[in-house]
Amino acid sequence: MAVEKINMPQLGESVTEGTISSWLVSAGDKVNKYDPIAEVLTDKVNAEVPSSFTGVIKELVAQEGDTIAVGELMCYVDIEGGASETQADEKTDEKSDTEQEESASEDQSMKKRYSPAVLSMAIENGIELESINGTGRGGRITRKDIEKVIETGQSKKPATSNPVQSEKGTANEAKETPIAKQTAQDGDIEIPVTGVRKAIAQNMVRSTQEIPHAWMTVEADVTGLVNYRNQIKNEFKQKEGFSLTFFAFFVKAVAQALKEFPQLNSRWADDKIIQRKDINLSIAVAKDQELFVPVIKHADEKSIKGIAKDINDLAMKARSNALTADDMQGGTFTVNNTGSFGSIHSMGVINHPQAAILQVESIVKRPVIINDMFAARDMVNLCLSLDHRILDGVVSGQFLARVKEILENINKDTTNVY
């Protein structure tokens, strides 16, 4: 018998880590190659990790709830017919670790790429990440690196670390007030943070910590769009078998505007900005207490009918837990239909690492002054959140104005859904 390792696989583009939501096997279980052994949460989606070998699970190293980087160890498997034994494997491990550390000391390209778990632990324990030598790939700082710092007692901030504070106040004033741990009272309900909710929390923290958000809102008159869609929706549903929603028109308008303003279709990459060629639009889909962000691929190349079909298919898959990793990856810009909940104004958190997110609010009929007379019009707010490292107000405003212009000119004479 030889011992082999199963590491966290690469589950999608730009996915650097995963959280083990549940193990599907236990130590001692026999598995075949490609059998699923664990469910892992990546970017708001569940994915199954298959076994790379046929054998018996020897040890589960990572625990449920652990967030580990791609390539890090998940478990050991005993396999038949292998040449190496455990001791030899351990020596190999030691050699591999040494090589990894030597490699990490040379390559520091990933040193400043922090995972949400690392950031959270560093903040909680007052650790300055710049002072740590990461042992991960490219010098990346791992959870184990942080845990080592905590174990050695180097994580506590000195009370006099802020010289300005020391000069102005007494030693007692310089002490930080500890944050009291929140505890439940009689009658309260404690709900464990696991699964998708935990992944959402981590992604939102990462977005707000890394991305300097700015916001803009425009108001669009979509009376023509509303009249056009209402005229054809029943015939369309009978003919195609799925609904023609307003959201499909909005997604099409955003895809068209992104072709004219590709600066919005980009991402921050430390020392450069990567402008994406493909226009892949992420859309938010809620299911009970869970939120998924599947992707409409090449939205600019599709008709309104094609986009409506993609929206319907992705929503159905989300609600039946059938979304795959491929459905979730590759998004370059997010369009969020907050109007479906009756919202009329909101400020979205950008879907990291994208450059912006557009919130489509509820369409509201209200009086508007046209030619010095009141008229009943269908109005909607379009709220844009932008990464201010990548985008400024000028280009963002021009993009938003173009989306508004496209939407305000949709009617039966100008737009074909096919």
Active site residues: 388, 392
Determine contact, residues 314/283, Cβ cutoff 8 Å: yes
- Residue holding tokens 């929503």? 315
In one-letter notation, the amino acid at residue 254 is V
Torsion, Cα of 47, 318, 216, 254 (10° steps): 100
Cα(340)–Cα(243) distance, integer angstroms = 15
Determine contact, residues 394/209, Cβ cutoff 8 Å: no
CA 302 to centroid of chain Cα atoms: 25
Residues in the chain: 418
Reduced 3-state DSSP string for 152-197: CCCCCCCCCCCHHHHHHCCHHHHCCCCCCCCCCCCCCCCCCCCHHH
What count of Cα atoms within 13 Å lies in the side-chain half-sphere of residue 179?
A: 5
Cα(393)–Cα(128) distance, integer angstroms = 33
What does the DSSP 8-state code read for residue 151? H
Determine contact, residues 356/350, Cβ cutoff 8 Å: yes
First to last CA, the chain: 61
3-state SS class at 226: helix
Cα(42)–Cα(330) distance, integer angstroms = 13
Ramachandran bin of 321, using left for φ above 0, alpha for ψ from -120 to 50, beta for the remaining angles: left
3-state SS class at 389: coil
| Range list of H helices, 19-151 | 86-106, 116-125, 143-151
